[in-house]
Amino acid sequence: MVVCDGIVPNDGKQLFEAMRSANLEKPDPIADDLVKTLMNAYKKATNRSTKTQILSLYAYKYSVSTLKKLHLPYGKLSTRQIHRARCHARSLGPGSVPQQKIHHRVRIDMSKVDHVHIFIKMYHSELNC
């Protein structure tokens, strides 16, 4: 109220009420439709990774409790899922696909493993002499 009186000395109260009523108005309907579309995509996603990517697009738009309430028709959200999505948005970027690590597996013939095992046993027995 003090700031509004400083901006408009004679009508500070009127400015304050105008700002307050503007904040109470319905949010942008286009953004709401976009969030509803994303929530629907979240509901239809088949795996957890994809759901996290989709949720990361709008996880910072609302508080945790508000997001849980809004999301109820599309599926129950846990606080952990929201935090995971926010972490994903912060570290990798909202909606980004994480890079898959390539793992190479090398198979060893069991006879070679037995040979090394026998060698270690013999070496260990010589040290205990």
Q: What angle do CA 23, 56, 49 make, to 5 degrees?
A: 155
Q: How many CB atoms lie within 10 A of CB 72?
A: 10
In tens, the pLDDT along 75-103 reads 899 999 999 999 999 998 888 888 888 88
- On average, the pLDDT of the chain sits at 82
From CA 111, how far away is CA 119, in angstroms rounded? Answer: 12
pLDDT at residue 63 above 80? yes
The domain limits of the chain are 2-91
In tens, the pLDDT along 5-45 reads 777 777 777 767 777 665 544 555 545 788 888 888 999 98
Chain-centre distance for alpha carbon 91: 9
pLDDT for the residue 34: 84
pLDDT for the residue 123: 80
pLDDT at residue 115 above 70? yes
From CA 97, how far away is CA 79, in angstroms rounded? Answer: 22
pLDDT for the residue 83: 95
